Amino acid sequence: MSSLAETFKDEAMELLQELEESLLALEETPEDQGLIDRVFRALHTLKGSGGLAGFEDVSSFCHEAETVFELVRSGDLKADRELVSLTLAAQDHLKGMVLTEFGADPVDDERTAELVAAFQILLPFAEQQVEKISEQALRQESIQSTYRIRFRPQPNLFRLGVQPQFLLSELAHLGEAIIVAQLDAVPPLDELDPEECWVYWDILLTTAEDKDAIRDVFIFVEDDCGLDIQQIDEGGVLDQPEDYKRLGEILVERGDLPQDELDHFLNQKKLFGEALVEQGHVNRSKVQSALTEQERVQALRRQRQVCDAVDSIRVKSDRLDKLVNLVGEMVTVQARLSQFASNRVDADLLSVAEEVERLTWDLRDQVLTIRMLPISGIFTKFKRLVRDLGAELGKDVMLVTEGGETELDKTVIDSLNDPLVHLIRNCIGHGIELPQVRQALGKPAKGRITLSAKHAGANVALTITDDGAGLDKAQIKAKAVEKGLVGAQAELSDREIYNLIFEPGFSTAQEVSNVSGRGVGMDVVRQAVDSLRGSIEVSSEAGQGTVFAVKLPLTLAIIDGLLIDIASEQYILPLSAVEECVELTQEETIQAHGRNLLNIRDEIVPYVRLRNEFNLPGERPEIEQVVIANLEGFRVGFVVDNVVGEHQTVIKNLGRMYQDADGVSGATILGDGRVALILDLPSLATRVETKENSACR
C-alpha cells in the first residue's frame, strides 16, 4: 500500500467521523444551514480525495450522496429523518469501502447499488437522466488536418494571470504550427497600456488532433477571447486538387476583406496582395498570414500526393530475378538486332532497331531500380550489434549512420551483411579503446563508429570509420613477417602494410576473444567484397582511428562494359574502371627497353599486355590500344588490339568448373551470339605484379 492510500485512509476516517457527528446533529435541527454545509463538505472532500487516491468506488458513491445534499443546501430538498438515516447508512457503508483496501471484508456490491438507487430516487427526474456521454470521437490517428485559428484575446487577458505565449506554445505541441502575430490593433505608444493585450494571432495548425483538442487549449480564456477555428484541409480526403484557394478567397473567408471590395480589385490587373496593401484595404501582415495559409496547404497536398504515389506492393524476389534475367536476354537480343541492322542498308530496319534499343535500355533501367533497396535496412541492425558488443567488451560505443537512403541492388545488400558485421566487430574489438584509456588520451569516453554510404558513379561507396587507436603498422608488419607473408627486408608503403590485414591467416589480436581475433576475418571480408565485384581499402592514423572504404557496384546483373578484341577474340572490361584509351606504337615499345611502362602526360603508367598474358597466337598490330584503368587509385594500362566500343553487358556466371579462373569474373553473350569473357582487372593486375616480384627475387 502506498503512503498516499494511508494518508487517504486517515483523512477518510476523520471525514466520516465528522459526517456522522454532523448528521446526528442535523437530525435534531434539520434546518441548520451550517450543519448542512458541514455534511456537504465532508462528502465533497471525501469524493475528491477518494478519486485522487485511486478509490474510484468511494468517489463515485460519495458523488451520489453529494448530489442529493447539494439540493438540500440550495433548499430544494428537506433534510428529513429518512434522508439522515439513509446518509448514516451510507456513511457506515463508506467506512467499509475504504477499509476493504486495508484487508477488511469486501463490501456487498448489491448493498452499494441499493444505496445509490435510494439516493438517486430523491433527485428530480432530469438529473436522474444525466448520463455521461462516452467519448465517441473516434480519433483517427495519423490523419492530419489543417486548421486556421484566429485567437483574439480581450485586452484584460494578462489580469487573469494568463500568458498568451504559453497557450501558443501549447498549441504548437499539438502539431506543426505556423503563427503570425497581428499587430494592427495595438494602439499608439502614448495610449498603450502595457498591462493590456492588443496583439492577436493567426495560427495555422496541422495536427492529428480534432477541433475539441484545439479548443481545450483555450478553455480558460474561451469566454474572454475571440476564437475562430476552421478546418481548411482534411487529411483523409484523397484526390484533392493540389491548388488551394486564391488569396482573395482566403481573405474574404477570414472576414478580413468584404466580397464587394474583392470583386472591385479583381478588375484591376495588379498583383493582388500588393494592390490591396498599397491601397490600404488590408494590412500587410494579414495578407502575409493568408499567403502563409495558401502555401502551407499547397505544400501539404503536394506532399500527400507524393505519399500516395509511394503506395507499394510486395513481389516475391524470385519473380524479380526472372524479370531481370528476361531483360538480360532482351538486351542480348537487342544487341544482335542492332548489329544485324547496321550491317544491312535498310533505313526502315535501322529505325526499328534503334527504337528497340531505346526501349530496351529504358526497360533495363526500370527493372534494375525495382531491385534497389535502401541500405538503411541493414544499418539499423548494426545499431543493436554495436550496443551489445560494446557492452560485452566493456566499451562505450555509439554507431552513427549516414546516407541510409542510398540504394543498392537487393543481392548486393543481402551479401553485404556478413562482411559489414565483421568490419564492425573489428572496429569495436581492435579499434575502440576502453573508456578509461580513451579518457586518459583526451578523447571522449564514448567511442564512435560511423557507417556511411553514398553514390559514386556506378558504384556505392561505403565507409566504416572508427575513432579508435588506429592500426599499428610495426605490429602488422612484424606479424606478417612472422607468418611468412612478406620478407623481413621488404620495403612496404603504408598502404601495402595496411592491406596485409586482408591476407588469409592474419590476426594481430593479442588475446583471442569471441568478438574478433580468431585469425579468420579480414580475408573473409575481402573475399566477400570481391565476389560482389567490389573493392576494399583501409587507411589509418595512429591514435585517430581507422577507415575502411568499400566500393560496390550498384548492381550485379548488368554492367556497362567496354568491348575490346585481341587476336580476334572479344573481351569485356568493366567500363566503371576505365579512365581513358591511348595508342601504343611499336616504336614506343622498343624505346621502353622491355619495361612495360608508358608515359602519359608525364605520368609513368605500368601496363599489362593481355595478348601475352592470355597466350594468344598471332602478330601484334602496328598500333596497339591501351585501356587505362584506375584500380583503387593506381593507374594500370591493359594493352589490346582494338577497342570496339561500349557494350551493355549482361553478366552470366561461369560454370562451376571455371569458377576459380583467375582474371575472369564472368562472361556475356554478344550480339552475334559469341561468348565474351569479362575481365577482372584488379586480379589481373595483381597477378602480373606477383609474377614480376617473384621474377625480381
Partner 1 sequence: MGKRVMTVDDSATVRQVLHMTLEGAGYEVVQAVDGEDALGKLSKESFDMLVTDLNMPKLDGIGLIKVVRQNPGNRFMPIIMLTTESQPEKKQEGKAAGASGWIVKPFKPEQLLAVVRMVCPL
- Residues 200-229 vs partner 1: string with x where CB under 8 A? -----------------x-xx--x------
For the chain, the 3-state helix, strand and coil shares in percent, each to the nearest 5, are 50, 20, 30
C-alpha Rg value of the chain to the nearest Å: 41
Phi/psi at 124 (5° precision):
-60, 160
The footprint of partner 1 on this chain (CB under 8 A) covers a number of residues equal to 35
CB of 241 to partner 1, least distance (A): 38
Residue 48 as a binder of partner 1 (CB under 8 A): the answer is yes
Write down the least CB distance from residue 220 to partner 1, Å.
4
Among 48-56, 97-105, 302-310, 629-637, the segment contacting partner 1 (CB under 8 A): 48-56
Specify the residue, 77 or 486, whose C-beta has the smaller distance to partner 1. 77
Shortest separation between residue 42's beta carbon and partner 1, angstroms: 10
End-to-end CA distance of the chain: 86
Residue 455 — φ and ψ, nearest 5°?
-75, 140
Q: How far is the CB of 156 from partner 1 (least distance, A)?
A: 10
**Contact with partner 1 (CB under 8 A) among 13, 121, 160, 445:** 160
Sign, Cα dihedral of 429, 435, 437, 438:
positive
Q: Nearer Cβ to partner 1, position 13 or 315?
A: 13
> Would you list the DSSP string of 231-275?
EEE-TT--S--S----HHHHHHHTTSS-HHHHHHHHTS-S-HHHH
Give the residue with the Cβ less far from partner 1, 54 or 504: 54
- Provide the β-strand partners of residue 454: 461
**Given 21, 25, 30, 41, the residue binding partner 1 (CB under 8 A):** 41
> How far is it, in rounded angstroms, from Cα 61 to Cα 119?
10
Which positions ≥6 away from 606 have C-beta within 8 Å?
A: 596, 597, 598, 636, 637
CA angle 330, 333, 338 (to 5 degrees): 120
Site for partner 1 in 486-515 (CB under 8 A): none
* Binder of partner 1 out of 139, 159, 264, 344 (CB under 8 A): 159
Out of 30, 51, 374, 377, name the contact with partner 1 by CB under 8 A.
Answer: 51
* Of the residues 35, 47, 273, 424, which one makes contact with partner 1 according to CB under 8 A: 47
Interaction of residue 438 with partner 1, rule CB under 8 A? no
In the stretch 62-101, what mask flags binding to partner 1 with x, by CB under 8 A?
-x--xx--x-------------------------------
| Residue 45 within binding range of partner 1, rule CB under 8 A | yes
Query: Measured from the CB atom, is 162 or 485 closer to partner 1?
Result: 162
d(CA 553, CA 531): 11
Q: Is 312 exposed, middle or buried (0-12, 13-18, 19+ CB in 10 A)?
A: exposed
Residue 311 has phi, psi (to 5 degrees) of -50, 140
Annotate 410-443 with DSSP letters as a single string: HHHHHHHHHHHHHHHHHIIIIISPPHHHHHHTTS
**Of how many residues is the chain composed?**
697
Please report how many Cα atoms fall inside a 13 Å half-sphere around the Cα of residue 609, on the Cβ side: 18
Q: With binding defined as CB under 8 A, does residue 161 bind partner 1?
A: yes
Buried b (16+ CB within 10 A) or exposed e, 323-352: ebeebbebbbebbbbbeebeeeeeeeeeee
Min. distance of Cβ 104 from partner 1 in angstroms? Answer: 19
Minimum CB separation from partner 1 for residue 21, in Å? 15
536 with 548: CB under 8 angstroms?
Answer: yes
Task: Give the whole-angstrom CA distance, residue 49 versus residue 60.
Answer: 11
Interface map 665-694 toward partner 1 (x if CB under 8 A): ------------------------------
Which of these segments, 7-15, 399-407, 409-417, 448-456, binds partner 1 (CB under 8 A)? Answer: 7-15
> Given the rule CB under 8 A, which of 155-163, 360-368, 403-411, 653-661 is the region that contacts partner 1?
155-163
Alpha helices, H only, 54-139: 56-73, 81-100, 109-121, 125-129
Instruction: Give the residue, chosen from 23, 26, 44, 546, that forms a contact with partner 1 under the rule CB under 8 A.
Output: 44
Does the protein bind partner 1 through residue 192 (CB under 8 A)?
no
* Nearest distance, CB of residue 211 and partner 1, angstroms: 18
- Least Å distance between CB 62 and partner 1? 10
Smallest gap, in angstroms, from Cβ of residue 95 to partner 1? 16
CB of 224 to partner 1, least distance (A): 8
CB of 182 to partner 1, least distance (A): 22
Name the minimum Å distance from CB 171 to partner 1: 10
Amino acid occupying residue 241: P
DSSP string, 344-387: S--HHHHHHHHHHHHHHHHHHHHHHHHTEEETHHHHHHHHHHHH
Distance, in Å, from the CA atom of 268 to the CA atom of 260, rounded to the nearest integer, reads 13
Residue 158 binding partner 1, by CB under 8 A = yes
Q: Residues in the site for partner 1, rule: CB under 8 A?
A: 4, 7-8, 10-11, 41, 44-45, 47-53, 59, 63, 66-67, 70, 158-163, 166-167, 169-170, 195, 217, 219-220, 223
